[in-house]
A and B are shown apart, each in its own frame.
Chain A
Amino acid sequence: MLPLTWDIMVQGLSEVVKLVLLVATVVIILEALAYLILVKWLKLKNALAFMLILPALVGVAILILYPFGFNIYLAFSNMSMYRFKEFSVGLKYGIGNLLDVFRVPVLQRVTFFQLFLRTFLWTVINVVFHVLGGLFLAILLNRPMRGKAIYRTLLVVPWAIPQVIAALAWKCEFHYQYGFVNILLEKLGFQSVQWMSDPFWAFVAVVIVNIWLGIPFMMVTILGGLQSISPDYYDAAQIDGASGWQQFRFITLPLLNPILTPAIILGVIWTFNNFNVIYLVTGGGPMEGTDILVTSLYKAVFEFYRYGFGAAYSLVIFLFLLVFSMIYLRISGGFKGAWEA
């Protein structure tokens, strides 16, 4: 292995410094232009506000809007391995690609609808356990007790470990003969499970890993929400003789809503699009039994070079999530406070 020498460190740092300088230069030029146009020429009243958000706006445009636009462009192309550089773009290709998403198997065995159902199950199971587990732990932590900081730190560990390392470690723990999970099952008197050969158990395995990984985020978020609820409400409720459950149902839950709504939306989107855990633990196998929409999208594009098809496919996934978020926001009213305030 190459030793980490001063040379390498200095070289690495100088790259960082160069980039920072470049970004700073671009920002200064942008701001100077904005100053000349907005303040000197147009004499706008809100010029400062525009100048302040301008760098972020440009960043978003470059990093999100442009790739998104390019994705739509590709969705209307026939780009593939044999037409990698000289592909054509047209409405008929776009329609063909979109129809193909629903018409032909996305992988070999599974069709779009099977994958969609599995992704739906995967998302619901995970998010339900994330929220329930997070809520449970947060309520346990949100009361005076000794060693709270230690518990809190320990419980955040799964979140603090890089996902790749956690997932690969779990993969080994599910090994038939030498994995911790089967050893534990045997000690408890159960049969060993072929976690990596049986599609059902492989799905259970990835769900377990993802639940383990996802609970800390919900716990921390909900704990923050719980701590912001004034104790006065509970005092008043206790004077009125409300039970513990009633306090939870009529004080805690409603006041947590503004925190829970964005957390759940984020949770759903992250889980729906969770590529790492599945790819690293099972790679979508065995027998495509743990593939969800995004992992099959990855395979279609990067293993079968179906770029046009893949771009259309990713648009479909995006639309699903967009519609979900809009419906959920409407029903829960979670962002109402933010708009009305």
Chain B
Amino acid sequence: MKRVFVRMLVSMLLLAMIVPLSAFAQKKMTITLWTKEGEGEEGLGGETIYGEIVNLTKKFSQTHPGVEFEVVSYGVEDLRQNFQSAAFAGAGPDLLWTVSDHAGPFEAMKLIKPVDEVFDKAYIDKFVKPGIEAVELGGKVWGVPLNVGNHLMLIYNKNLIANPPKDTDELIKVGMELTKDLDGDGKPDQYGLVYNLNEPFFFAPWLGGFGGWPLDGTEPTLNTPAMVNALQFVQDLKFKHKIVPMECDYDAADSLFKEGKAAMIVNGDWSLSSYLTDEVKKKVDLGIARIPKVTETGLWPSPMTSGIYFMFPEYVSDDKIEVIKDFVEYVCSEEVQLMFLEAHMRLPALEEALTNPLVTNDPIIKGSSDQMVVGKPMPTVPEMRAAWDAIRPNQEAVMAGKAKPEDAAKAMQEACENLIREMKK
């Protein structure tokens, strides 16, 4: 009996040693790619962006035998947090497909490699300048751009409004005409304008339109007349002119617009393909314009532009980097970039691809790139995190009618300074 037990034990131990050895023998390489693209909306080809990525990796594997990919999708915030935890333990993905603002914290934590160590300068120069500048920190480039843009714009339904407003006075005027109570219950069921009211990212264009910006370098500039005026403006949209819903988050705005219950929406380039599906086309005839010029200042509102980037974890081994480099060049090739443009309305980051007739001839894509030119790159410095979180609760207070714009601006500045101090401790 005892002998049987010992024999079993020995054979088990041997088995445990053989299993990992056989894995080495096959000489396979698995590249783990973490992407912020979800399985959410399908593009015009009927494929989600996540699905496109998986297809791209499969095509790549055909030309690179032995290379396999594991594509993992996370929400933007989850990707950042999970990568931090994984990289702290010295493990994690081999390649990141994420947004430009992650470059700031990842660089500060020393979790990613500068792109200059992977690619030569000639390759980096192929991309549009703002795309590279957005991820330049400390004189080095920290990501390879996949798409530029990610910017907000005015999207309108031509069935409800023939011509987009030119300035904010006109916006308010037509907004009031288009906010209607159709069924006579005393509440509007069609709105002039909808957007994610409480989200700082959706407030940023107005801040720019009034001549302000959250940061000057790394210094917060939140308690400014521009901020006060911009806050007053968005508060008035809700309480004085009543052209936006009483409560409106991203999903509510999106649904209202898709159902033809809102004439205009401020939304990003990522949403465009979802407004062009057959289902939505029944109710929405899509038009794109710049967010209307602020009458008081004569400035165009400046949505934050950023983009989607490949970033390279610092711990990835050299032989893997060689393969990853090939993959990045493949995905950033003109052919693939134009595929993303056609199917998902993502503006290419390659200079060459932007001159393609696909970009210059399509009214929607042209509208989107027309808005992008007046946008400003979103600051990538880690201090921006503090600015976001300082703006948010105070913006919420203004939009709830609970704070005066002057007090909110002051509170933002104070909070932002505190947060930066705590972060740097």
Contacts and interface: CB of A to CB of B under 8 A. Distances in A.
A109 interface: yes
Nearest to B314: A85
Contacts of B392: 285
Given A177-B187, A197-B247, A109 B393 contact: yes
B108 interface: yes
Interface stretch (B293-301, B303-311, B416-424): B416-424
Contacts of B385: 303-304
A173 interface: no
B422 A177 contact: no
A250 interface: no
Contacts of B12: 25, 28
Contact of B415 (A109, A175, A198): A109
B13 A29 contact: yes
B382 A81 contact: yes
Interface string B384-425: 011001101110110110100000000100010011001111
Contact of B245 (A105, A176, A198): A176
A287 interface: yes
B25 interface: no
Contact of A80 (B411, B419, B423): B423
| From B81, B245, B397, residue with most partner A Cβ within 10 Å | B397
A67 B245 CA distance: 47
Contacts of B400: 194, 197-198, 286-287
A307 to B, nearest CB: 9
Nearest to B394: A287
Contact of A194 (B48, B84, B246): B246
Contacts of A288: 393
Interface string A176-203: 1110000000000000001111100000
B390 A305 contact: no
Nearest to B412: A108
A81 B109 contact: yes
Contacts of A108: 389-390, 393, 411, 415, 418-419
Interface in A105-160: 105, 108-109
Interface in A194-241: 194-198
Contact of B48 (A1, A178, A196): A1
Given A305-B423, A306-B425, A287 B9 contact: no
B198 A286 contact: yes
Interface in A48-107: 78, 80-82, 84-85, 104-105
Contacts, number: 113
A104 B420 CA distance: 13
Contacts of B424: 80, 82
A32 interface: yes
The contact size tier of chain A is 35 or more
Nearest to A197: B400
Contacts of A270: none
Given A85-B109, A104-B422, A196 B247 contact: yes
A304 B247 contact: no
A9 interface: no
B105 A85 contact: no
Interface residues of B, number: 49
Nearest to A176: B247
B325 interface: no
A1 B39 contact: yes
A234 to B, nearest CB: 52
A302 interface: yes
Contacts of A196: 247, 249
Nearest to A104: B422
B16 interface: yes
A165 interface: no
B109 A177 contact: no
Contact of B108 (A81, A105, A195, A198): A81
A90 to B, nearest CB: 14
B240 to A, nearest CB: 16
B99 interface: no
Contacts of A323: none
B422 A304 contact: yes
Contacts of B42: 1
A47 B105 CA distance: 52
B88 interface: yes
A10 interface: no
A309 B15 CA distance: 46
Interface in B185-218: 187, 198
A21 B51 CA distance: 32
Nearest to B81: A302
A131 B12 CA distance: 51
A21 B20 CA distance: 12
A2 interface: yes
A297 B299 CA distance: 40
Nearest 3 interchain pairs by C-beta = A176-B247, A84-B109, A108-B415
11 contacts: A1-B39, A28-B12, A81-B382, A109-B415, A194-B247, A197-B198, A197-B246, A198-B400, A285-B392, A287-B397, A305-B84
Interface of B: 9, 12-13, 15-16, 19, 39, 42, 48, 50-51, 54, 77, 81, 84, 88, 105, 108-111, 187, 198, 245-247, 249, 252, 382, 385-386, 389-390, 392-394, 396-397, 399-400, 402, 411, 415, 418-419, 422-425
Interface of A: 1-2, 21, 25, 28-29, 32, 78, 80-82, 84-85, 104-105, 108-109, 175-178, 194-198, 285-288, 299, 302-306, 309
